[in-house]
Structure 1
Amino acid sequence: MHSKFAGGIYLNGMRSSTLRWIILLATLLIALITGVQLFWLNKVYSFEHKTFNTNVVKSIRGLYEDMDIADTPANHLQDLIEHPSPDYFLFRVEGTSIPYDSLVFYLKHELNDFDVLTDALIGLYDSKKGTYIAEQYIPAAAARYDPSHNVLPVYQRDHDYVLLYFPHRNKYVLAQMNFWFISTAILFFVLISLAIILFYFYRQKFLVEVQKDFVNNFTHEFKTPLAVMKISSEVLLQDKIVNQPERLFKYANIIQHQTQHLQSQVERLLHIASTDRRELPIEKVRVPVKEIIEQAVAKIQPLVDDKEALVEIQSAEEPGYELLADRVHLELAVVNLLENALKYSTKPHVIISTGQEDGHLFISVKDNGIGIEKKYQKNLFKKFYRVPTGDVHNVKGFGLGLNFVKRIIDAHHGSIKVNSLPGIGTEFKMLFPL
């Protein structure tokens, strides 16, 4: 019915805590693996860039050895090479009278030798004229570039130099990392698959635990009434019971009461099951709210008498509130709230009131029961939820009562508020649009 008001069965915290820790650790492990992989991808990316720069510098040094274009000792060649920006390399030459075609040929050969297999644009700068006097594009099989779309930047120097520009440098570096990208993609696919499997495993585990708890509570709910009925029927089968009319009436009344209880629970289960995947079949008519409340109280009168409860009805005197609603379902909602109020109070004092609030008509059921802690209130209307109270069977119920009440209110486009203090009591206020 409720949960300590929400009726039902909730996943036992003790049984699920280990699984939650496993899920948490697995999530942290996946995050750690992902972080490490991304870190190494970044490291490899930086390494490939450094390798590219090193190979270009080696190619230029090889060019110096192939051609006499710099009057500098071999151990000082490094000083003639500059790297002004990521895609540009600049190296000094002595004069612009060098055979340019030979320079391009040897440079292309050196770049291939050192695996710099991307296209490049070469410019020969004349420091006296302050401009490039020759440009040459070296294509590559993997990349094509239109040099007319680019103007080589001029770096002001007091000497002649050759400028190397690699327009597809970054794409080339990324291409060298194909293995890492493929392995990372496979790893991420495996990790995502593992995360999905863990999620569905946890979900299935949760559903299994809910079903198991539901069966346990279902068994407990029916066990006691059936035992009482069995004992009562055995008493009624005794020959001398005919001569004891008061005793006969007592045990017949017990059987009737327990039968009604079981029938009510079965009908509730069947109703929930039949409406689980669709909207409740609402047939709205104009009904007096006070009449609905009085009928609901009359239905639970045996429970009121048994608990020696005090039930007060406080409603507007004139003209009396009416609501466009489904009479049967609205009555069931009030009955559920009243049953909960009586269940969780030692000496029940229940106040039922009606009124208007923010353009809505409300029906309030207030009790002096054990109350509900704030942290549990957000879950009260979930199916099978029960507020932890130690022994899960200390109060009968399937965890469907408040869930059903919420479905009825939603079908009427209303809302429900909960105000509760542990040890003081609880108020459920149903609000319906006027």
Structure 2
Amino acid sequence: MSRNTIRLLIILGTLSITGIIAVQAYWVKKAFDLKEQQFRQTVMISLRNVTNKISSLYKLSVIENPVTQLSSDYYVANLRAPLNADVLEHYLKDEFKKQNLLTDFEYGIYNCDTDNIVYGAYINSDFEESVHAQKNLPKTDKYLNYFGVRFPGKTSYLASRLDIWLISSLITLIVTLFFGYAMFIILKQKRLSEVQRDFINNMTHEFQTPISTIRVATDVLSQPKILDQPERLRKYVSIIRQENNRLKNQVESVLNTARMDKGRLQLDIQLQELHSLIDDVTEGVKAELEDSLKLELHATRTSIYADRVQLISLIRNLLENAIKYSEKVPDITVRTENTDEGLVLSIIDKGIGISSENINKIFNKFYRVPTGNTHNVKGFGLGLSYVRQIVRAHKWEIKVESKLGEGSTFTVIMNQE
């Protein structure tokens, strides 16, 4: 599947999901508004019936429109006569039960002598318990004698009546999450496919070069007259040995990474002498780099508990990385020092550097800093990933400082405790 196809799939899928969510939100809002309208009508009918019963109780004429809505959850009803709170509460409970209006409410009765609404009680949804307390309910100048009823839990009550819409919204949410997860898996598989393809291409290229060199060298050595040219013989034998070591290191790099992934790395922790190991690693590249390699070994306490093989691999990988990403004439410094944090090893180069957008990716497996041509930098993109795994296995710390076009500094902080 091409990148453009995946991008089109994501765009179309996102637009579809967005449309579904928008339509769902619209109909949920419409359903809520309808429930709110039904609630208002039910309340108006209930309170009108209560006032009619009270009018009948006091033998008063029936009021045509006795109920007024002052806010979304507050209603007042005209009484035309003083009323006892217990009587009103009985009528309200009875009428709300008949209308199946099973939600919390609170009521109060206006007292014209004090010009205040005397708070009655807070009635819960099962109408079994009432809590008497002093609260202030809004007043109105529309009626001389009236009572007010407020529904504080109206919004949650209406939401609970949207069960089918809540279920459909939940299904929409699940579909959206599934779509997002599916897109994540598709993109992840796409990246893994690209990584696998690049790794195979890089591995083929990296293996092909030493194999071709060895083949050419063996062809030369197979010539009978080569025995009469000892210098040339030694040269091609050295080439074969060098390319063979290169192949060995490449295979070991892949195998070591595989072992790390499976948790099979077994550390043989022994007391090591860091400067001695640095000398061993740099001995092979001193002739090639000559004055381009500087050793600034300032540390005075150089003993460290570590796995010798893994520590050598760490130094070698950092050094080879500095060489690969340097200009035609490398300028590399290997520095050690003692700090409060421990024994510090730094590999400093003045190469091409790493941009800020790539510096957080360099320790990812198979990742290689883009330099234009796919094969202009040797390696599989495993070196720094392997270094990070070694550092983690020893419970050390690694830091990177880099500036594009000016070079990079890799610092390993080794705990000497």
| Aligned residue number for residue 329 of structure 1 | 310
Q: How far did residue 309 of structure 1 move?
A: 6.2
1:53 and 2:34 aligned: no
- Code of the residue aligned with 1:395 in structure 2: it is V
1:268 and 2:253 aligned: yes
CA distance in 1 between partners of 2:247 and 2:233 (Å)? 21
1:389 and 2:375 aligned: no
Q: How far did residue 129 of structure 1 move?
A: 9.3
CA distance in 1 between partners of 2:380 and 2:19 (Å)? 42
Q: Which one scores higher on RCO, CA 8 angstroms, separation ≥ 6?
A: 1
8 Å CA contact retained: 1:63, 1:106: yes
1:291 and 2:280 aligned: no
Q: How far did residue 51 of structure 1 move?
A: 2.5
What are the residue-to-residue correspondences of 1:163-242 with 2, within 5 Å? 169-170=154-155, 172-242=157-227
CA distance in 2 between partners of 1:227 and 1:288 (Å)? 38
What are the residue-to-residue correspondences of 1:39-188 with 2, within 5 Å? 40-58=27-45, 71=61, 74=64, 77=65, 80-84=66-70, 87-95=73-81, 117-118=101-102, 144-149=126-131, 159-161=144-146, 169-170=154-155, 172-188=157-173
CA distance in 2 between partners of 1:424 and 1:156 (Å)? 78
| Aligned residue number for residue 324 of structure 2 | 343
2:345 is matched with which residue: 360, 363, 373? Answer: 363
CA distance in 1 between partners of 2:249 and 2:266 (Å)? 19
The TM-score, its normalising length taken from structure 2, stands at 0.78
Q: How far did residue 63 of structure 1 move?
A: 7.9
Unaligned runs of 5+ in 2: none
Give the SS at the match of 1:275: helix
Give the SS at the match of 2:261: coil
Give the SS at the match of 2:254: helix
CA distance in 1 between partners of 2:310 and 2:104 (Å)? 80
Sort the Cα spacing of 1:406 and 1:95 in 2 relative to 1 into closer, same or farther, 3 A.
closer
8 Å CA contact retained: 1:280, 1:408: no
Q: Give the length in aligned residue pairs.
A: 403
Give the SS at the match of 1:324: strand
1:431 and 2:413 aligned: yes
Q: How far did residue 42 of structure 1 move?
A: 4.3
- Code of the residue aligned with 1:337 in structure 2: it is L
Taking every aligned residue pair, what percent have the same amino acid on both sides? 32
8 Å CA contact retained: 1:280, 1:407: no
Give the SS at the match of 2:374: coil
Sort the Cα spacing of 1:194 and 1:121 in 2 relative to 1 into closer, same or farther, 3 A.
closer
CA distance in 1 between partners of 2:93 and 2:316 (Å)? 92
Sort the Cα spacing of 1:38 and 1:309 in 2 relative to 1 into closer, same or farther, 3 A.
farther
Sort the Cα spacing of 1:150 and 1:286 in 2 relative to 1 into closer, same or farther, 3 A.
same
CA distance in 2 between partners of 1:120 and 1:315 (Å)? 80
Sort the Cα spacing of 1:297 and 1:39 in 2 relative to 1 into closer, same or farther, 3 A.
same
8 Å CA contact retained: 1:384, 1:400: yes
8 Å CA contact retained: 1:333, 1:405: yes
Give the SS at the match of 2:167: helix
Unaligned runs of 5+ in 1: 1-14
CA RMSD of aligned residues (A): 4.3
| Aligned residue number for residue 377 of structure 1 | 359
